[in-house]
Amino acid sequence: MIKAGILSDTHLFAPDRTFASQAARAFGDCEIIIHAGDLTEIGVLDIFRDKKIYAVHGNMCSRVTRERLPSQLRFEVGNFSFGLIHGAGLGFDIESALWDIFPEADCVIYGHTHQAACHRQSDKLFINPGSFRSTGHYGAPGTYALLSIGETLEVAIHEVAPR
């Protein structure tokens, strides 16, 4: 069983103490980190240097981050294929657009909306971890996803623990 931590929309210029602490608690036992964009600066990924990282840039990322990270990524883990994209510019129905972008993927991961989502549609699993930082309305907590990759894909959305 491989455990992956999924986050998006961190909107940080550097990994501050709060982010580092929350990420350690959320993803400490994960082998893989998947970031669905809008990290802002690529240095945010430095706290995950001991893990395999898959990441894309988002619409709020710096020029340097956009140059170093792709806008979309296809990869495989175990027996499953994945598509990763931020989702900006795909219109109001992001998931419909994702069928055309990643037709072969078993699982498509995206961000941008700051709204967590996790569901299957036909044979495809869609995951949006929401915003890791509490940027939601009315002080809503941040969210992230934990994905277990084995014979099947099992995923759960979690709230980020307060400091």
* Assigned CATH topology for domain 7-134: Purple Acid Phosphatase; chain A, domain 2 (3.60.21)
Whether the CB-CB separation of 161 and 25 falls below 8 Å is answered with: yes
Task: For the sheet with 52-55, list strands across it.
Answer: 52-55, 32-35, 2-7, 143-149, 153-159
Write out the two tokens for 4: 């992956």
Report the alpha-carbon distance of residue 7 to residue 5 in Å, rounded.
Answer: 7
Provide the residue-wise pLDDT of the chain in tens; the chain has 163 residues. 999 999 999 999 988 999 999 999 999 999 999 999 999 999 999 999 999 999 999 999 999 999 999 999 999 999 999 999 999 989 888 999 999 999 999 999 999 998 999 999 999 999 999 999 876 555 678 999 999 999 999 999 999 987 6
User: Which segments within 122-163 are labelled E, that is strand?
Assistant: 124-128, 143-149, 153-159
Report the alpha-carbon distance of residue 27 to residue 79 in Å, rounded.
Answer: 22
Facing residues of 155 across strands?
147
Tell me what pLDDT residue 133 has. 83
From the list 95, 96, 87, 93, the residue with the least C-alpha distance to 114 is 87
